[in-house]
A and B are shown apart, each in its own frame.
Chain A
Amino acid sequence: MPKGATTRLVALYAVAVLLGIASAWLWVTRIGISGVDAGQWRVNLLAGSTQADAYTRARIAIFALLALDRRETLYYTTDRDDGGASLRAECPYSIALRPPTARWWSITAYAADGFLFPNKTRRYSVSGENANVDADGWARFLIAPQSSAAGVDARITTSGAGAMRLTLRLYQPDEGLQRAPQALDPPRIKKIGRCVS
């Protein structure tokens, strides 16, 4: 085989390998985790499960490593407010939810990289233990940048700019929710006031 033809073949197979790796990475990281929806919130029923398919397993490993099986924990996540707009770290939001039927629950805010926002006051989450539930049965609180006016009263404070994701954890959810996670009364998320620049 002429040397030029060999070089072209090596290049062809090298490109095939690179495209294989790149397509897998894009497929896993750019396509959202599948699941069932409750309002703007989505829960993947195979997170942590031995029944997970290869793509789900890879996505969970990247975005939610060491998740528990749904009989132990349901993880609802969202990156949208009730109006469908992307959640932003630089914007204030009000959250309202009816405490879900689970052993305990919490809502935590994560930055785009999947980690907690730098936070001097350690206000990272609100849970069933520390939420204030009003007479109508609603727990209401604010998520806001710590540098904003709303940040003073916020139960969860953010910092910087960029995408934000909320995770609602339900540890030991009741059997009804395990069977039909879409039946969750989803926490409401409303943008309030102006975003900090």
Chain B
Amino acid sequence: MNTWRHALTAFGVLLVTHALTVWTLPRVIMWRVMSVASAETNPAGTFLPPPTDHTARRIVMPSPDLLYATCSLSLRDGPIRVSFDGHYPRYWSIALYAANSDNFFVAGDRNNADQPVRWLVSTPSQNATASSPAAERQITAPSDRVFLLMRLLVNDDPAVLAEAERARRSLRCTNTVES
């Protein structure tokens, strides 16, 4: 009887461990990505990786047709202000990912053609509305760690690359406590 009880308990442990592993995997991978990116963040709060080639080995399936910029946002100390001048004549998008890797928000030139981006990213418990200018878009994140990924369509033309480089350097991710 005792043997059956232990066998059933062990099976339960197996199932719980299985579920916990599946649940944890994307969170651990995102945590790693955000930690590495935040270690290389510049004063604008962004990380600007070099143009994608075969040496880009941090994130699987990188697109060689895109130039990227990233921000690792920690909302623990308050909302984060995101801004971008919006001037890039080709495809661009800025996507926000939760700590579990879900893409919970994306906007780009389709929504903001040549218009500046001004976002205030906060958690549901932060009263961001009171401190936010009217022109700022409020975005509520499902987690207190958020990864921002900007994509800009490029090609081999040096003029296009230079324009994309200028555009991504206008991206800012700043803590509202400091700004």
In the complex, whether A129 has a CB less than 8 A from a CB of chain B is yes
Taking A54-B23, A61-B26, A67-B103 as given, write out 18 further A-B residue pairs in contact, using a Cβ cutoff of 8 Å, ordered by the A residue number. Answer: A19-B17, A20-B14, A50-B98, A52-B102, A54-B22, A58-B25, A61-B25, A62-B29, A64-B60, A66-B33, A68-B106, A69-B106, A103-B110, A106-B63, A115-B60, A116-B53, A116-B56, A125-B63
**Residue-wise interface mask of B (133-148) relative to A, using a CB-CB cutoff of 8 A (1 in contact, 0 not):** 0000000001000010
* Interface SS of chain B: mixed
Compute how far the CA of A93 lies from the CA of B4 in the bound complex, rounded to whole angstroms.
57
* Residues of chain B within 8 A of A20, CB atoms compared: 13-18, 20-21
Residues of A within 8 A of B (CB): 9, 12-13, 15-17, 19-21, 23-25, 27-28, 48-50, 52, 54-55, 57-58, 60-69, 72, 103-104, 106, 108, 110, 113-119, 122, 124-125, 127, 129-130, 167, 169, 171-172
CB distance from B132 to the nearest CB of A (A): 24
CB distance from B90 to the nearest CB of A (A): 9
* Residues of chain A within 8 A of B35, CB atoms compared: none
Residues of B within 8 A of A (CB): 6-7, 9-11, 13-23, 25-26, 29-30, 33, 52-54, 56-57, 59-65, 91, 93, 95, 97-98, 100-104, 106, 108, 110, 142, 147, 149, 153, 155-156
* Interface SS of chain A: mixed
* Residues of chain A within 8 A of B60, CB atoms compared: 62-65, 110, 113-115
* Complex contact A57–B16 (CB within 8 A): no
* Complex contact A124–B54 (CB within 8 A): yes
From the candidates A27, A114, A129, A172, name the one contacting B61 in the complex (CB within 8 A).
A114
* Residues of chain B within 8 A of A66, CB atoms compared: 33, 59, 95, 97, 101, 103, 147, 149
From the candidates A9, A15, A57, A113, name the one contacting B101 in the complex (CB within 8 A).
A57
From B54, which residue of chain A is reached at the shortest CB distance? Answer: A116
CB distance from B159 to the nearest CB of A (A): 14
* Complex contact B16–A115 (CB within 8 A): no
Q: List 25 A-B contacts (CB under 8 A).
A: A16-B13, A17-B13, A20-B20, A24-B21, A24-B25, A25-B21, A49-B102, A57-B101, A62-B29, A63-B60, A65-B59, A66-B33, A66-B101, A68-B106, A103-B110, A104-B91, A106-B65, A115-B54, A115-B57, A115-B61, A116-B64, A124-B64, A125-B63, A127-B65, A169-B63
Compute how far the CA of A64 lies from the CA of B149 in the bound complex, rounded to whole angstroms.
14
* Residues of chain A within 8 A of B97, CB atoms compared: 66
From A126, which residue of chain B is reached at the shortest CB distance? Answer: B65
